[in-house]
């Protein structure tokens, strides 16, 4: 549907974040590419911008993620924290088994509301 414009502090990287759905109570952002040191700030800026304008729920579609490193986990934790502080809800959707393992191995499995690709 649309992309979020980045400030000059955030160079373009090999990741794409796109609003793919919107209702009165939620916004869905699809993430495609690798989430790493080179583009973590891009993802962080985009998701925090979306959170600030989302009525209730921000759904992050993880189905197009190719790599999820520690930077990506940090961004997701920060977005979860901000969503809780703002009284909003963050959902990780279309989470594949390898992404779920990474999240759980980091001890974050109970933190996130995750919907696996098998549930979608």
The two tokens of residue 112 are 């996130």
pLDDT one-digit tens code per residue, 28-75: 999 999 999 989 999 999 999 999 888 899 999 999 999 999 999 999
- The whole-number pLDDT of residue 1 equals 46
DSSP-based three-state secondary structure for 102: helix
CB neighbourhood size of 1 (10 A) = 11
Q: Are strands 57-68 and 89-95 parallel, antiparallel or unpaired?
A: parallel
Instruction: Read off the pLDDT band of 82 (50, 70, 90).
Output: very high
> From CA 10, how far away is CA 109, in angstroms rounded?
29
Quick one: pLDDT at residue 55? 84
Cα–Cα dist 100/55, whole Å: 27
Rounded distance between C-alpha atoms, residue 30 and residue 43, angstroms: 11
Find residue 90's DSSP bridge partners.
Answer: 58
pLDDT digits (tens, 9 = 90+) for 1-32: 445 555 555 555 589 999 999 999 999 999 99
Residue 109: pLDDT band (50, 70, 90) is very high
In the numeric block, the tokens 């919107």 are attached to 22
Domain parsing of the chain, residue ranges:
15-116
pTM to 2 decimals? 0.85
Spell out the CATH class of 15-116: alpha beta
Residue ranges in 13-69 assigned as alpha helix (H): 40-53
């Amino acid at each position: 549907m649309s992309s979020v414009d980045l400030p000059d502090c955030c160079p373009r990287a090999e990741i794409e974040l796109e609003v793919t759905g919107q209702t009165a109570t939620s916004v869905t952002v699809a993430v495609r590419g690798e989430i790493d040191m080179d583009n973590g700030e891009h993802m962080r800026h985009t998701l925090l911008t979306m959170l600030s304008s989302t009525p209730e729920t921000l759904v992050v579609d993880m189905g197009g993620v190719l790599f999820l490193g520690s930077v990506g986990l940090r961004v997701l934790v920060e977005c979860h924290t901000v969503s809780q502080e703002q009284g909003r809800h963050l959902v990780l959707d279309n989470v594949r088994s390898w992404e779920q393992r990474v999240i759980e191995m980091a001890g974050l499995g109970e933190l996130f509301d995750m919907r696996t690709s098998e549930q979608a």
